[in-house]
Chains A and B, each alone.
Chain A
Amino acid sequence: DLNPIMLARAQFGANITFHILFPTISIAMGWLLLFFKLRYNRTQDEKWLDAYKFWVKIFALTFALGVVSGITMSFQFGTNWPGFMATVGNIAGPLLAYEVLTAFFLEATFLGIMLFGQQRVSNRVHTLATFIVAAGTTLSAFWIIVLNSWMHTPAGFEMIDGKAYATDWLAIIFNPSFPYRFTHMLLASGLTVAFLVAGISAYRWLRHDRTASVMATLKTGVYLAAALIPLQIFAGDMHGLNTLKHQPAKVAAMEGLWETTKGAPLLLFAWPDAEKRSNHAELKIPNITSLILTHDLNGEVKGLNDFEGAHPPVLQVFWAFRVMVGTGTMMLIVSWLCVYWLKRKPILAKPLAYALVGMTFAGWVATVAGWYVTEIGRQPYLVYGVLKTASAASAVPSALIASTFAMYIALYLALIVAYVSVVFHLARSAGKSINSTPASAPISLSLST
């Protein structure tokens, strides 16, 4: 029989997983569109306008999916775990309220002008609207990541009669893990968009849609990816060190380390077994984990057995971490190879183009895996050290949760399929409509404004 707590968690997890797919794209895509727009304003080169026109469609589609899944989220916050608001509502409440007041209205209102107002406002106001939308999405990410980081490293509050009361709002907002998480998330968004743009452009290129605009977006995507990925790896490393300080059990789970060890190895592969409290089939490189985490080959790293009964599920965290880092490594290899090639040759090599197409949605994989590391790694706590997940769950009966859960899953799967296929459909039909202007030919598209 179904446990309502597990169901409520699974339902929330499924919803936020679906939601984050779209903000990850919207956040950085807003800035990229601003970039295209500014390039066009400055150079008057049609290829940037074409790039804007094509990507703004995908942006609009993504934004709509982000909005509707976000509205669902805002209801689930209360329905799925009322105990959360009852305990830390005094802190979560203002943060959520500020997100709605300062970010959601801003982005939603100016989105209308950005998408449909081109012919009704001056070019300058339109550029400004584009900027406001990009800033609005980033601001909303700021507030929600503040709240989420506070759940990982709570600060600036006191507990009275089992309820949290704010004592220092600056300490709450700039809590210890916030700078790392916010940076890592923004970079994740940038990488997701970079690979999306590079992948779709490579797809168009492979279909012999080789307009100046396709080449320009292909290069933009590839260079952006190549520039961001080293930053992301560095930021991720710093993030891990910060986590080691505040949530050592999570790091032990990420590394699959059961016993506290001096000179802990890096596990490339293993199958952690929660019952036996050890790993099967380890493939390891000696001392590297100690080197990464303590900057000393023989440094001591705490193992899971030091936290028995109070550490997260190991298998999920361990593998989610490997999926994220593995995807990050792939990103590094592919983007740098592409840059290396493009520096030497005017056009891409086919295998590289196929690799880019294959990695179109790689950002999604790494981002979702990263969130799973973070969120599952926080268990059994909901607010680390303050509130356990089990004590926050709601009293809605299992059957009701199960039926709505099934409905959401069906909806989400259908929408993801529709989204991905429409993105590729747009890529194909864009090729048909502007095939008349190959990169070398003089550009003859007329402006519709």
Chain B
Amino acid sequence: MDSFANGGWLPVAFLALMGLAMLAYVVLDGYDLGVGILLRRADDAKKDQMIASIGPFWDANETWLVLGVGILLTAFPLAHGVILTALYLPVALMLLGLSLRGVAFEFRAKAPSTRKVLWNRVFYAGSLLATFSQGLMLGLYVTGFADTAAAWAFALLTGACLCAGYALLGATWLIIKTEGTLQLNAVAWARGSLLLTGAGIAAISIATPMLSTQIFNKWFAWPNLFLLMPIPLTTLALFLTIYRSLKRLPTRLREGNEYGAWVPFAASVGIFCLAFYGLAYSLFPWLVIDKITIWQAASAKESLMIIFVGAMVVLPAIIAYTAFAYRVFWGKARALTYY
């Protein structure tokens, strides 16, 4: 390991950067994949509204995934090879899902109208497949790619749980971006996915330390237990906040009062951030549990430095124009027309 002054901090900085990119991806593409998962529940006119609420954003949202994987590839090539080889099949399935969904966006609006039903189905199935594969990847990753029945059962659980979580993000996003009956439907969908997400997170929290001694030791050692306690407590508080808000919203929304309509989404994002933080804390400094640390996997310092400087200059600009784009499309989504 290099000394810190001598560039040894670079791998940590890149880990942080990669973590942020992945978190941004999960939250941002999470809500648009979530809208895709919910698509099946709406009638045709509402389907158009739902897609209009994510149309301007999905491409930029997915770019965070490209950045995250790009950092893994360029900063930690050794780990990239191991991780993506171990996850070869779920990655391929995720790419299939993302491809189908991405093209369905366009085809559903441009193909002959008799095909629209088909492309709507493709949109839904692609969103679900991509989400489920991502959850599967997460589960396999956390168990250190152990090829055991328990590990696969855990991965299936995380897959299902992520579908619920993205649906929660999607539904709460729709509460902000839509109006009328669709908005009220979204409140109901959010309630359902909230319960599923809660159950899923609880199950994962119990199963994780049972599957990995590494994580068990980290969680249940003094003073970590004490330091970590705020995570589940805050998560619980956020769940209750969403629950309460979803209960009150329908009456208010029927009166045309949008007060607090953003609360469920913001709190759901909070839950994702906390879960992410807990995961990052449990894994650090391993990139592949019990096998590769970030220092073993890193590229040459000079090359990392060049990317780091570039990232420090460009990322603020990216964040600024992303904020600009969200401001342009602020407020309720309108029908997607190209002029």
A: residues with CB less than 8 A from B are: 49, 52-53, 56-57, 60-61, 63-65, 67-72, 74-75, 77-79, 82, 85-86, 89-94, 96-98, 100-102, 104-106, 108-113, 115-121, 163, 165-166, 169, 394-396, 400, 404, 407-408, 411, 415, 418, 422, 425-426, 448-449
User: What residues on A are CB-neighbors of B80 within 8 Å?
Assistant: 78, 82, 85
- A selection of 14 A-B contacts at a CB cut-off of 8 Å is A57-B110, A64-B106, A65-B106, A75-B69, A78-B73, A79-B84, A85-B73, A86-B78, A89-B303, A90-B300, A97-B310, A100-B66, A105-B63, A120-B328
B: residues with CB less than 8 A from A are: 55-57, 59-60, 62-63, 65-67, 69-75, 77-78, 80-81, 84-85, 88-89, 91-92, 95-96, 98-100, 102-103, 105-107, 110-112, 299-300, 302-303, 306-307, 310-311, 314-315, 318, 321-322, 325, 328-329, 334, 336-339
Query: With contacts A61-B106, A63-B59, A117-B329 known, what are 7 further pairs, Cβ within 8 A?
Result: A65-B103, A75-B84, A78-B80, A89-B303, A94-B74, A109-B318, A120-B329
Bound-complex Cα distance A72 to B103 (A): 13
User: What residues on B are CB-neighbors of A117 within 8 Å?
Assistant: 56, 328-329
Contact A113-B107, Cβ < 8 Å, known A64-B102, A75-B95, A100-B66: no
Q: Which 10 A-B pairs have the closest CB atoms?
A: A93-B74, A112-B56, A82-B81, A68-B102, A68-B99, A85-B77, A108-B60, A108-B59, A90-B303, A404-B92
Contact A111-B299, Cβ < 8 Å, known A74-B70, A93-B74: no
Minimum distance in angstroms from A400 CB to a CB of chain B: 6
Closest to B303 in A: A90
Minimum distance in angstroms from A76 CB to a CB of chain B: 9
User: What residues on A are CB-neighbors of B85 within 8 Å?
Assistant: 79, 82, 394-396
Minimum distance in angstroms from B232 CB to a CB of chain A: 34
User: Which among A49, A101, A169 is the interface contact of B314 at CB below 8 angstroms?
Assistant: A101
User: What residues on A are CB-neighbors of B72 within 8 Å?
Assistant: 78
User: What residues on A are CB-neighbors of B96 within 8 Å?
Assistant: 407, 411
Contact A71-B95, Cβ < 8 Å, known A93-B303, A104-B66: yes
Bound-complex Cα distance A120 to B329 (A): 7
User: Which among B88, B110, B300, B303 is the interface contact of A426 at CB below 8 angstroms?
Assistant: B110
User: What residues on A are CB-neighbors of B77 within 8 Å?
Assistant: 78, 82, 85-86, 89, 93
Bound-complex Cα distance A57 to B91 (A): 30
User: What residues on A are CB-neighbors of B112 within 8 Å?
Assistant: 425
Contact A71-B62, Cβ < 8 Å, known A97-B74, A395-B85, A404-B89: yes
User: What residues on A are CB-neighbors of B338 within 8 Å?
Assistant: 53, 56-57, 60, 115-116, 118
Whether B311 pairs with A165 at a CB distance below 8 angstroms is no
Whether A115 pairs with B56 at a CB distance below 8 angstroms is yes
Minimum distance in angstroms from A374 CB to a CB of chain B: 23
Bound-complex Cα distance A266 to B327 (A): 61
Minimum distance in angstroms from B176 CB to a CB of chain A: 17
Minimum distance in angstroms from B326 CB to a CB of chain A: 10
Bound-complex Cα distance A97 to B70 (A): 6
User: What residues on A are CB-neighbors of B337 within 8 Å?
Assistant: 116, 118-119, 448
Bound-complex Cα distance A394 to B86 (A): 12
Minimum distance in angstroms from A280 CB to a CB of chain B: 41
Minimum distance in angstroms from B103 CB to a CB of chain A: 6
Closest to A160 in B: B300
Bound-complex Cα distance A418 to B105 (A): 13
Minimum distance in angstroms from A194 CB to a CB of chain B: 22
Bound-complex Cα distance A156 to B197 (A): 52
Whether A69 pairs with B99 at a CB distance below 8 angstroms is yes
Q: Tally of A-B residue pairs with Cβ under 8 A? A: 212
User: Which among B55, B325, B334 is the interface contact of A109 at CB below 8 angstroms?
Assistant: B325
Contact A75-B102, Cβ < 8 Å, known A100-B70, A448-B339: no
User: What residues on B are CB-neighbors of A169 within 8 Å?
Assistant: 306
User: Which among B60, B69, B110 is the interface contact of A112 at CB below 8 angstroms?
Assistant: B60
Bound-complex Cα distance A290 to B66 (A): 46
Whether B302 pairs with A165 at a CB distance below 8 angstroms is yes
Bound-complex Cα distance A149 to B69 (A): 23
Whether B74 pairs with A89 at a CB distance below 8 angstroms is yes
Whether B321 pairs with A71 at a CB distance below 8 angstroms is no
Closest to B71 in A: A97
User: What residues on A are CB-neighbors of B73 within 8 Å?
Assistant: 74, 77-78, 85, 89, 93, 96
Whether A101 pairs with B321 at a CB distance below 8 angstroms is no
Whether A64 pairs with B56 at a CB distance below 8 angstroms is no
Bound-complex Cα distance A74 to B68 (A): 11
Whether A68 pairs with B98 at a CB distance below 8 angstroms is yes
Minimum distance in angstroms from A297 CB to a CB of chain B: 49
Whether A112 pairs with B329 at a CB distance below 8 angstroms is yes
Whether A78 pairs with B111 at a CB distance below 8 angstroms is no
Whether B311 pairs with A121 at a CB distance below 8 angstroms is no
Closest to B101 in A: A68
Whether A72 pairs with B95 at a CB distance below 8 angstroms is yes
Whether A449 pairs with B339 at a CB distance below 8 angstroms is yes
User: What residues on A are CB-neighbors of B303 within 8 Å?
Assistant: 89-91, 93-94, 166
Bound-complex Cα distance A320 to B76 (A): 37
Minimum distance in angstroms from B99 CB to a CB of chain A: 4
Contact A422-B107, Cβ < 8 Å, known A93-B73, A93-B77, A394-B85: yes
User: Which among A86, A96, A101, A449 is the interface contact of B318 at CB below 8 angstroms?
Assistant: A101
User: What residues on B are CB-neighbors of A67 within 8 Å?
Assistant: 59, 62, 102
Whether A96 pairs with B325 at a CB distance below 8 angstroms is no
Bound-complex Cα distance A61 to B103 (A): 7
Closest to A65 in B: B103
Closest to A115 in B: B338
Whether A166 pairs with B57 at a CB distance below 8 angstroms is no
User: Which among B57, B69, B100, B322 is the interface contact of A74 at CB below 8 angstroms?
Assistant: B69
Whether A98 pairs with B92 at a CB distance below 8 angstroms is no
Whether A93 pairs with B339 at a CB distance below 8 angstroms is no
User: What residues on A are CB-neighbors of B100 within 8 Å?
Assistant: 411
Whether B89 pairs with A98 at a CB distance below 8 angstroms is no
Closest to A425 in B: B112
Contact A118-B111, Cβ < 8 Å, known A60-B106, A75-B84: no
Closest to B65 in A: A71
Whether A64 pairs with B105 at a CB distance below 8 angstroms is yes
Bound-complex Cα distance A77 to B80 (A): 10
Closest to B321 in A: A109
Minimum distance in angstroms from A398 CB to a CB of chain B: 12
Bound-complex Cα distance A102 to B315 (A): 9
User: What residues on B are CB-neighbors of A77 within 8 Å?
Assistant: 73
User: Which among B59, B63, B111 is the interface contact of A100 at CB below 8 angstroms?
Assistant: B63
Minimum distance in angstroms from B6 CB to a CB of chain A: 17
Minimum distance in angstroms from A382 CB to a CB of chain B: 15
Bound-complex Cα distance A105 to B84 (A): 23
Minimum distance in angstroms from A399 CB to a CB of chain B: 11
Whether A89 pairs with B299 at a CB distance below 8 angstroms is yes
User: What residues on B are CB-neighbors of A400 within 8 Å?
Assistant: 88-89
Minimum distance in angstroms from A50 CB to a CB of chain B: 10
Bound-complex Cα distance A416 to B106 (A): 14
Whether B334 pairs with A78 at a CB distance below 8 angstroms is no
